[in-house]
Amino acid sequence: MTASSHRRPDTTRSAPFFFLLPATLLFILFLALPIGYAVWLSFHKVHVHGLGLGTHARSEVWAGLANYADALTDRELLHGAMRVVGYGCIVVPVMLGLALLLAMMLDTERVRLAPFTRLAIFLPYAIPGVVAALLWGFLYLPDVSPFYYVLEKLNLPQPDLLDGGPLYLALSNIAVWGGTGFNMIVIYTSLQAIPAEVYEAAKLDGATPLQIALRIKIPMVAPSLVLTFFFSIIATLQVFSEPTTLKPLTNSVSTTWSPLMKVYRDAFGSGDLYAAAAEAVLIAIATLLLSFGVLRTASRRNRQEPTP
């Protein structure tokens, strides 16, 4: 055997690592390092000497868990978290319910123009969140909205969707309008993967279309429902662009309406990067724990399926 033949196995074994190297470098530079730097900032604070004047009047010192203690007792952050919970209680069930309903309707044999319908439902997801929020924001304004013009001509009540309780519905409508199409595609893809023999066997047993939908389709797309529920929870906890975009249009949206808006204000409005880093870390931990709980619950239910 030649020397070149001995080198080939080593090259083959190391080839996967060379393919993974670009992705690994990007992960380290743009994800791991920023996360590590944010964690490092969360354990520090600025100490002011004297009047805070001069070159060395401010120094960075170790703060321990002080920033986390302040964040956990911050009423604005807690109130923002409660608002996001109420927002999520509207968005997640409505969005996933509509996505499941639309996916099952498109999966029927009687539907016409299915490709065009799927594209029309999915299209709002392709619109950036800021653009969608601006679009709906102007539709919510009584002075420029065509809906309010029609309501005025019909002598119907004109609710203010940007004030008080209706604000939750207005924000939820933007999220549902934009996210239903993506979730529908995920569920519809799972429905298309169900073998046709399963439906034929159910029809031979006398199952109605409603029974097929409830007892066959929904249970078989349960993993997709868990996946979309998982993504929806993460998106809900990270809501930022919709209330931030609507803020100039109404006084009901404060700079701390959501936890991420609070982080943004502390970091770039107040200039307290250390408190903002601690708040961001707490939001990340809450998202991780909640996501882990959802996946753990779903896996337990799959293991506890009844045996025939």
DSSP 215-240: IIIHHHTHHHHHHHHHHHHHHHHT--
**pLDDT (mean) for 211-221:** 90
Q: Where in the chain is the domain with CATH 1.10.3720.10?
A: 65-303
Residue 254 DSSP code: -
**To which CATH superfamily is domain 65-303 assigned?**
MetI-like (1.10.3720.10)
**pLDDT (mean) for 257-263:** 95
**pLDDT (mean) for 206-229:** 89
Q: Are 112 and 171 in contact (CB under 8 A)?
A: no
Q: Is 277 helix (H, G, I), strand (E, B) or coil?
A: helix
In terms of residues, how long is the chain?
Answer: 308
pLDDT reading at 308 higher than 60: no
**pLDDT (mean) for 109-113:** 74
Tokens found for residue 179: 């996210």
Buried b (16+ CB within 10 A) or exposed e, 125-143: beeebeebbeebbeebeee
Those residues whose C-beta lies under 8 Å from the C-beta of residue 256, and which sit 6 or more positions away, are 76, 77, 79, 80, 262, 265
What's the predicted TM-score (pTM) here?
0.86
Tokens found for residue 198: 């399963």
